Structure 1
Amino acid sequence: MEWEWLREFCKGMIKPLLALSVAVMGMVLAHWQKLGLVGDTAYSVLRGLIQISAIGFVLHFLFHQQSSLWIVGYYLFMVCVAGYTAGQRAKHVPRGKYVAGMSILAGTSVPLSILITLKTVSFTPRYIIPLSGLIVGTAMNVTGITMKRLRDDIKLQTVLVETALALGATPRQATMLQVKRSVIIALSPALDNAKTLGLVTFPGGMTGMMLAGASPTEAIKLQLVIMNLIIGASTLSSITSTYLSRPCLFTEAHQLQTNAFISD
């Protein structure tokens, strides 16, 4: 009986594996058009299959643990991976991985803590881990885009920024326009998704619940929680990353860090 769940898992993987035929169709089309994407597509599909299967076993283990340390530990693991990935995108920002990790940690932990305190979500592995995965992933994308865009905009407008600094402006004052633009661009996809929610797109959480047999009203309730979590976490992560990135792009003498703008 202990391994019954494993047999059920393997049996349930038959349909997902059959769905690989759709990905194979995409690879055939890519080969036909000579796009050079067959290898990358096959690698991505195989890696995704292995990762999602492995995480299924990990989640099965975590969902049966009573200690909150497992929840916190896995959440911090996700934040570290997300911080590293976002830092890679903004690789020209000094200490970018650290900045990204701290921004994602602040941006996701605060909204989650608020909802847990308000008892909107239960502090159990079954709720916290999936919700953490959703908002950490979104915060990772937003943070990476914000940091990269901020650095790129400052580089493109170096003359404007340095002129403001020469006239006595602080780095914060000299880069207000660039900060605002980077945050707006990074948050646009999340805000657009919220605007079209239910009209153009049916989000994964809502779709998954309905496919699993839950009523549409229950699926909507959960999706509203997820939507608000994503918006709050994305906004906080993006803004935090600008506050932490800006000192890394300037010296203590309020000059641009030359190494951060040398090359792409």
Structure 2
Amino acid sequence: MTNLTVSNQTLALGFMLVIIALVIGYTEKLRFNKDILIGVIRAIVQLTIVGYVLKFVIKANDVWLTLACFLIIVLNAGWNAGKRGNGIPKAVQISLFAIGIDTVITLAILVFTGSIKFIPSQIVPITGMIASNIMVAIGLCFRNMKQTFSDRHQQVLEKLALGADIKLASIDILRDSIKSGVQPTIDSIKTLGLVSLPGMMSGLIFAGVDPVKAIKYQIMIAFMLLGSTSLGSIISCYLAYKQFYNEEKQLNVKLFS
């Protein structure tokens, strides 16, 4: 295995790339310097804390600590995905349910097939990868669903007036919303190996693992992410579209005003 070391001096030199972006932003008056600085500071603080926590959790190798990390990741992902569905009733609860169920199912399949072991050094990073991708997918689903219901609410009202139930009246919106959540994952998979060398694969190669073995792990991750984002998008959309109707199965137009 290759012994990789990143010193504080190396990090400081790497920060020069951020300074270049800041200079360009200031010169061209792009107004994103504040966001860059906040993002960099948050990343440093959050990753430093997470690094020490993971070091402790991995060293302890305790089931309950591993499950606690799983719960924290899922709760944070659900909360953030729900916030992206601002204006959709019960968006946070739907996100938590979809991400929780989806992550448990995906991890269970990976563990029972022997793809990964139930140890913190594998469970925690994989949980983060799964939950973060589902979070992004659900956020896209919610955004698309709310906008599409707003744009097509008259069509939905006409379908309801003609006797359609709420699912039939919403089916086109459902399909478009699910597709919007899954499409980025599909697009990224299409370019694997041609445009991008993903983080896990690159990390394994950096660590000295045979590139062929690293590719097999990356293919497994691709299957995992495609399956989990698809399932998460489907669960969240099929629960969320019902929130656009009241108890009398009428479209709640107040959500669009």
TM-score (norm 1): 0.92
Tell me how far apart the structure 1 counterparts of residues 6 and 231 of structure 2 sit (CA, whole Å): 42
Q: Which amino acid aligns with 1:47?
A: R
**Equivalent of 2:189 in 194, 198, 205:** 194
Question: Alpha carbons of 1:74 and 1:259: their partners in 2 closer, same or farther (altered >3 Å)?
Answer: farther
1:250 aligns with 2:250: no
Q: Return the offset for 1:11.
A: 6.9
Q: Do residues 72 (structure 1) and 70 (structure 2) align?
A: no
Aligned residue runs from structure 1 range 107-146, under 5 A: 107-146=102-141
**Contact between 1:100 and 1:241, CA under 8 Å: does it hold in 2?**
yes
Q: Which moved more, 1:183-192 or 1:232-241?
A: 183-192
Aligned to 1:207: 202
The residue number in structure 1 matching 2:220 is 225
Check if 1:52 corresponds to 2:47.
Answer: yes
CA-atom RMSD in angstroms: 1.6
Specify the alignment match of 2:30 in structure 1: 35
* CA distance, structure 1, for counterparts of residue 210 and residue 10 of structure 2: 23
| Alignment length (residue pairs) | 254
User: 1:39 offset after TM fit, Å?
Assistant: 1.5
TM-score by length of 2: 0.94
**5+ residue gaps in structure 1?**
1-8
Give the alignment partner of residue 234 of structure 1, picking from 220, 229, 248.
229
Aligned to 1:6: none
CA distance in structure 2 between the aligned counterparts of 1:149 and 1:191, rounded to whole angstroms: 17
Alignment of 1:73-88 (within 5 A): 73-88=68-83
Aligned partner (choices 174, 179, 199) of residue 179 of structure 1:
174
Task: State whether residues 187 and 234 of structure 1, in contact with CA within 8 Å, keep that contact through their aligned partners in structure 2.
Answer: yes
Q: Which residue of 147, 150, 174 corresponds with 1:155?
A: 150
SS in 2 for 1:113: helix
CA contact (8 A) 1:108 1:136 kept: yes
- Going from structure 1 to structure 2, the CA distance change for 1:111 and 1:49 (only over 3 Å counts) comes to same
* AA matched with 1:53: T
In structure 1, distance between residues paired with 2:67 and 2:197: 30
Letter in 2 for 1:226: I
User: SS of 1:242's equivalent?
Assistant: helix
Alpha-carbon contact 1:107-1:235 (below 8 Å) kept:
no
CA contact (8 A) 2:174 2:238 kept: no
Unaligned runs of 5+ in 2: none
Stretches (4+) displaced over 6 A: none
Deviation at 1:212, TM superposition (A): 2.2
> What is the CA–CA distance in structure 1 between the aligned matches of 2:5 and 2:216, rounded to whole Å?
31
Whether the aligned pair in 2 keeps the contact of 1:112 and 1:229 (CA below 8 Å) is no
Per-residue CA shift, 1:170-195, capped at 9, x if unaligned? 11111100110111122111001111
TM-superposed deviation, 1:261: 2.0
Q: Identity of aligned pairs, percent?
A: 28
Is residue 93–residue 148 contact of structure 1 (8 Å, CA) maintained in 2? no
Aligned mates of 1:20, 1:259 — CA distance in 2: 48
Give the equivalent residue in structure 1 for 2:94: 99
Q: Distance in 2 between matches of 1:152 and 1:238?
A: 16
CA contact (8 A) 1:106 1:236 kept: no
Distance 1:153 1:11, change over 3 A: closer
Q: C-alpha separation between the residues in 2 aligned to 1:221 and 1:54?
A: 31
**14-23 or 146-155, larger mean C-alpha shift:** 14-23
